[in-house]
């Protein structure tokens, strides 16, 4: 055991980009093993997928059929209309618009400012660059709850309570330290001869950043954009705290409200589940569409500690 290679933490994530090729064991010769594997695999898949199928089933049932005892696993008759009526009843279009505006802006701000900070930290020499790097990385460990009350008060005192600003503006100020970290790691991996060449050609830093670095770091900022999208689209606590008027709610708060114990009457679960599916759809599509970038980007997280 003396010839163990480098610390696994250092090489962890690049491995994600690889397809599975590890502990290889002979499979074909052991039918029992194969059967056990597939039985387990089937079980795992079922646990993950059945709740979602159940959601679709409810979305297709009539309002009253949902409350049948014992419940039917398949709807008696299919109410496709729920997918049109449900969203209307739940003010889905309004909530969707709100969510979209908040998410698009905070993705834009978060990715842009993190990339800028990462560029400075990785490729420019300036006094204090180590200090700022450690401060940003250290702030990743700080639990979000600590800022909750003072920030709430701060926003309230400058008139931002019940507006979208608290959900958007912080993103334009390097909102997520993880992104700064990720950006820096990516920039470190780019050969310095590239910007030297650009400088000889007469490009300034802004020029180098926009025309040379951004195309080279595509996987990094696409990954960040996906993560930022999910964080904003899925966020529940912040909009819940900062938004009072129902007309300004994003989908997360609006959807939760319909099943809240304080909402009054029993929610129309068929409408709700049909709409819930629509709420899930954008992150779902994004996940499947951008899997490649997502995994590449995570890969850079691991190759980090050496530098």
Partner 1 sequence: MNRDGRSRGGRGGFSRNAGSDVKAAYLFIAPAIIGFTVFVVYPLVRSFYLSLTKYNGLTDPVFVGLGNFRRLFTVDPAFWPSLRATGYLVVLYVPLSLALGLALAMFCNQRFAGVRIVRTLAYLPVVLPAVATITLWKFILNPQVGLANTILDKLHLPTSLWLQSPSMSMPSIVIVMLWGVGGTMIIFLAALQAVPTELYEAARVDGAGPYAVFFRITLPMISPIMLLQVILQTTAALQTFNQPKILTGGGPGFSTNVLMLSIYNNGFSNLGRIPQLGYASAQVWVLFIVIIAVIALTAKFSSLWTYSDNTPD
Report 58-97 residues binding partner 1 (CB under 8 A): 58, 66-71, 73
User: Binding to partner 1 by residue 114, rule CB under 8 A?
Assistant: yes
Q: Confirm if 180 and 116 have CB atoms less than 8 A apart.
A: no
Contact positions with partner 1 (CB under 8 A) in 142-201: 142-154, 156, 170, 172-175, 180, 196, 199-201
CB of 32 to partner 1, least distance (A): 14
User: Binding to partner 1 by residue 119, rule CB under 8 A?
Assistant: yes
104: Cα separation from own chain's centroid: 13
**H and E: helices and strands count for the chain:** 17, 0
117-119-122 Cα angle (round to 5): 105
Q: Helix 92-123 crosses helix 251-258 at what angle (to 10 degrees)? A: 140
Residue the block writes with tokens 């905070």: 106
Question: Can you tell me which of 30, 35, 41, 263 binds partner 1, judged by CB under 8 A?
Answer: 41
Q: How far is CA 171 from CA 107, 164, 294, in A?
A: 7, 12, 20
CB of 144 to partner 1, least distance (A): 7
Q: Which stretch binds partner 1 (CB under 8 A): 40-48, 74-82, 83-91, 100-108?
A: 40-48
CB of 66 to partner 1, least distance (A): 7
Question: Can you tell me which of 31, 206, 215, 264 binds partner 1, judged by CB under 8 A?
Answer: 206
CB of 87 to partner 1, least distance (A): 14
User: Binding to partner 1 by residue 228, rule CB under 8 A?
Assistant: no
- Copy the structure tokens of residue 244: 């009072």
Residues 6+ apart with CB under 8 A from 252: 99, 233, 234, 235, 236, 239, 240
The CA distance from 90 to 209, in Å, is 44
Q: Which stretch binds partner 1 (CB under 8 A): 83-91, 100-108, 121-129, 214-222?
A: 121-129
Question: Can you tell me which of 63, 207, 212, 216 binds partner 1, judged by CB under 8 A?
Answer: 207
- Could you tell me if residue 84 is left (phi over 0), alpha (psi between -120 and 50 degrees) or otherwise beta? alpha
The CA distance from 41 to 284, in Å, is 22
170: Cα separation from own chain's centroid: 17
Nearer Cβ to partner 1 (23/215): 23
Question: Can you tell me which of 34, 39, 97, 104 binds partner 1, judged by CB under 8 A?
Answer: 34
Contact positions with partner 1 (CB under 8 A) in 7-26: 7-9, 11-16, 18-25
User: Binding to partner 1 by residue 50, rule CB under 8 A?
Assistant: yes
User: Binding to partner 1 by residue 117, rule CB under 8 A?
Assistant: yes
CB of 69 to partner 1, least distance (A): 6
Question: Can you tell me which of 78, 80, 134, 287 binds partner 1, judged by CB under 8 A?
Answer: 287
User: Binding to partner 1 by residue 104, rule CB under 8 A?
Assistant: no
The CA distance from 16 to 98, in Å, is 35
């Amino acid at each position: 055991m003396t010839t163990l290679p480098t610390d696994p933490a250092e090489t962890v994530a690049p491995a994600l980009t690889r397809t599975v090729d590890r502990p290889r064991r002979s499979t074909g010769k052991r039918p029992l093993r194969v059967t056990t594997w597939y039985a387990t695999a089937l079980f795992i898949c079922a646990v993950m997928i059945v709740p979602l199928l159940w959601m679709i089933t409810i979305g297709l049932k009539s309002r009253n059929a949902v409350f049948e005892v014992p419940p039917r696993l398949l709807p008696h008759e299919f109410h496709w209309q729920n997918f049109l009526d449900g969203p209307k009843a739940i003010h889905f279009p309004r909530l969707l618009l709100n969510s979209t505006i908040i998410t698009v802006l905070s993705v834009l701000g978060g990715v842009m400012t993190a990339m800028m900070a990462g560029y400075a930290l990785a490729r420019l020499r300036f006094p204090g660059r180590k200090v700022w790097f450690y401060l940003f990385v250290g702030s990743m460990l700080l639990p979000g709850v600590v800022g909750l009350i003072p920030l709430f008060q701060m926003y309230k005192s400058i008139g931002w309570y019940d507006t979208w600003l608290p959900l958007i503006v912080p993103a334009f100020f390097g909102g997520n330290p993880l992104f700064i970290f990720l950006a820096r790691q990516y920039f470190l991996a780019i050969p310095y001869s590239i910007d030297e060449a650009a400088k000889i050609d007469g490009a300034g830093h802004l020029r180098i950043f926009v025309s040379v670095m951004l195309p080279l770091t595509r996987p990094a900022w696409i990954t960040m954009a996906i993560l930022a999208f999910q964080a904003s689209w899925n966020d529940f606590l912040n909009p819940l705290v900062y938004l009072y008027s129902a007309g300004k709610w994003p989908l997360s708060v609006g959807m939760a409200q319909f099943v809240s114990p304080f909402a009054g009457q029993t929610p129309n679960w068929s409408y709700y589940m049909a709409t819930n599916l629509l709420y899930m759809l954008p992150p779902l599509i994004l996940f499947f569409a951008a899997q490649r970038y997502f995994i590449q980007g995570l890969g850079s997280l691991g190759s980090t500690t050496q530098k």
